[in-house]
Amino acid sequence: MDYPIKISPSILSADFGTLRHDALAAEKNGGCAIHIDIMDGHYVHNFSFGVNIVSALKRHVHIPIVTHLEIDNPDVFISDFARAESNMVVVQEDTCPHLPYTINAIKEMGVKAGIGINPDRGFEKLEANPEILREIDLLIIMAVYPGYGGQPFSPVTVPKIRRACAMREETQASFDIGVDGAVNSNTAPDIVRAGANYLIAGSSVFTDDIAASMKKLHTSAAAALAI
């Protein structure tokens, strides 16, 4: 089934003891890609997974795997995550001193590329390098600071989604516009109405009833589109 709004479950909030089961449940209920946050305890004050999680999950799930690098010096690790068969690698723009170089390095590995932007960061780097916008597949507006699931939704998110839509049009680019952090059935309608089409959700998906949670999120997103 094709959904108008893509929902990518972020396994940071899954039960790590039953990760395969949780990831497959999210896939079966309309997840477009498994989102894996890689945290280094330096860029963010938390650790999550290493590169092996990608190859391990790859053996079980059928939808693409998106690796979100919430680490310093992502350039050093791009090839590892590409070789582990990530379908997309997302870097945080504030970790990349030479963003065009980084995006190019990801694409050269034959992998899709994405960029994440923190709540306190603007689009200056993207505006200064508009050619990047035609290269990337996903722009993620972070609605929380990276590091943890279950944080509150930042109010800067909605105007930034609108700005991202305008920037995409101005540059004739075609990337998905995503939101990561605090995406749930309450925040999804405003996110979707502002123009985002790719929702990354952790704690609102990995509940005791993953099927029901995915359905609730899909329904709230689709309803917002219908208005």
Using CB under 6 A as the criterion, which residues of the chain lie in contact with ligand DX5 when the complex forms? 10, 12-13, 35, 37, 68, 70, 144, 146-147, 149-151, 180-183, 200-204
Q: Give the span between the Cα atoms of 159 and 169, in whole angstroms.
A: 16
Told to judge if 40 belongs to the known catalytic residues of this protein, a careful annotator would answer no
Q: Shortest Cβ distance from residue 227 to Zn ion (Å)?
A: 28
Nearer to ligand DX5, 9 or 102 (CB): 9
113 binds, among ligand DX5, Zn ion, none (CB under 5 to 8 A by kind): none
Q: How many CB atoms lie within 10 A of CB 46?
A: 15
Nearer to ligand DX5, 2 or 208 (CB): 208
H/E element holding 178? strand 176-180
Q: Shortest Cβ distance from residue 219 to Zn ion (Å)?
A: 23
**From 22, 94, 180, 209, the catalytic residue:** 180
Nearer to ligand DX5, 87 or 170 (CB): 87
CB 22 within 8 A of CB 11: yes
- List b or e across 181-212, with b for residues whose CB sees 16 or more CB atoms inside 10 angstroms: bbbbbebbbbbbebbbbbbbbbbbbbeeebee
Q: Which residues contact 17 (CB under 8 A, 6 or more apart)?
A: none
**From 2, 22, 37, 208, the catalytic residue:** 37
Vertex 78 angle, CA 35 and 206, to 5°:
10
Q: Shortest Cβ distance from residue 107 to ligand DX5 (Å)?
A: 22
Q: Shortest Cβ distance from residue 131 to ligand DX5 (Å)?
A: 26
> Which residue lies nearest Zn ion, judged by its C-beta?
68
- Burial, 118: exposed, middle or buried (Cβ in 10 Å; 0-12, 13-18, 19+)? buried
Told to judge if 180 belongs to the known catalytic residues of this protein, a careful annotator would answer yes
Active site residues: 37, 180
